[in-house]
Amino acid sequence: MEACASAHYWARELKELGHNVRLMPAKDVMAYVKRGKNDAIDAAACCEAVGRPTVRTVPVKTTEQQAQLMQHRVRDLLIRQRTQAINALRSHLAELGIVAAQGYEGLRVLLAIVADAPIRACPSTRVPAYLPLLRRSLRAKPRLGRSTSAIVATVPDATIFKRGRDFAVGIVSREDSTGDKQRLGPISKQGDRYLRRTLIVGAFAVLRRARAHPEKYPWVTQLLVRKPAKVVAVAMANKTARIAGAVLTKKESYRVQTNTAA
């Protein structure tokens, strides 16, 4: 068998039935896959690989060994997450000119500064705790009511963009056209990744509402008939980005269209 996910469990089950199980690394088996991939081709590749003298086999782990290995992996995950959080804290404070020495001593200095300074925005590590904080920011600054706080913070001056397409450049299909042949590929993914992800996630939320109430979203419903859901979500995110760019450039409030089918 290939030593893939859950392979040790199934190997133990087969051993209880009296089989002699040998696990091979998946990368060694892939060398004997002729073309394509299905169960028959994978089985033929396993039969071919197991007879080769240079192919290594992996011993079957017991339940206790897997549990002990899980503890090490969880510990390693927590260490990497802790390091990531420390690096994020240092980076955010460095944007404000607050730096400290490397190591835990410098980290204690930064934590003391954050605890005493007014820049301490949210004392919780839970994601829902930041939603009231963002809502208060929207109410405190009227300009944020015309767009999202993330867009306003990322784009201080939207007049640098000549048109809405330039503002939504990261959600526009990458073009590879020549002559009269137009070829549109995946989105270019230029610009800010966080804004692009936020817009696309918001578009998927609208898709769920459109499926539940198609009469309220005729434009989205018509697109869903012709295009896959992911393509429609990207199109909606692109439209939203263009609207946000126009609203910020003209410095006016968003006017809700009565005819949503347009």
Reported as a single tens digit per residue, the pLDDT across 110-162 is: 888 887 765 555 555 555 666 676 666 666 665 554 456 777 777 777 777 77
In the predicted structure, residue 202 carries a pLDDT above the cut 70: yes
Cα–Cα distance, 243 to 237 (Å, whole number)? 10
Cα–Cα distance, 220 to 207 (Å, whole number)? 7
Q: Tell me, what's the pLDDT at 11?
A: 93
Q: State the DSSP string of 163-188.
A: SHHHHTGGGSEEE--BTTB--EEEE-
Average of pLDDT values for 85-94?
A: 90
The candidate with the shortest Cα–Cα distance to 169, out of 114, 241, 92, 225, is 241
Q: Tell me, what's the pLDDT at 12?
A: 94
Residue 237 has a CB neighbour count (10 Å cut-off) of: 25
- pLDDT tens digits along 20-43: 998 988 888 888 888 888 888 888
Average of pLDDT values for 219-236?
A: 90
Is residue 114 within 8 Å of 93, Cβ to Cβ? yes
Q: Which residue has the higher pLDDT, 76 or 131?
A: 76
Average pLDDT, the chain: 81
Q: Tell me, what's the pLDDT at 205?
A: 92
- pLDDT tens digits along 178-192: 777 777 777 777 777
- First-to-last alpha carbon distance for the chain, in angstroms, is 57
In the predicted structure, residue 16 carries a pLDDT above the cut 90: yes
**166 pLDDT band (50/70/90 cuts)?**
confident
Helix, strand, coil tally for the chain in percent (to 5): 60, 5, 35
Distances (CA, A) of 102 to 8, 106, 112: 42, 5, 15
Cα–Cα distance, 91 to 229 (Å, whole number)? 37
Instruction: Give me the percent of the chain exceeding a pLDDT of 90.
Output: 17
Q: Tell me, what's the pLDDT at 142?
A: 55
Average of pLDDT values for 41-65?
A: 87
Q: State the DSSP string of 36-67.
A: S--HHHHHHHHHHHHT-TT---BPPPPHHHHH
Is residue 171 within 8 Å of 184, Cβ to Cβ? no
- Of the listed ranges 68-72, 156-160, 224-228, the least confidently predicted one is 156-160
Q: 8 exposed, middle or buried (CB, 10 Å; 0-12, 13-18, 19+)?
A: buried
Q: Tell me, what's the pLDDT at 25?
A: 86
Is residue 34 within 8 Å of 41, Cβ to Cβ? yes
Q: Tell me, what's the pLDDT at 74?
A: 92
Query: Using a CB cutoff of 8 Å and minimum separation of 24, what contacts does 189-197 make?
Result: 192/154, 194/150, 194/154, 195/150, 195/151, 195/154, 195/170, 195/241, 196/170, 196/171, 196/237
Six-digit token pair at 42?
């994978």
Q: Tell me, what's the pLDDT at 138?
A: 61
Q: Tell me, what's the pLDDT at 36?
A: 82
Six-digit token pair at 135?
């809502």
Q: Is 216 helix (H, G, I), strand (E, B) or coil?
A: helix
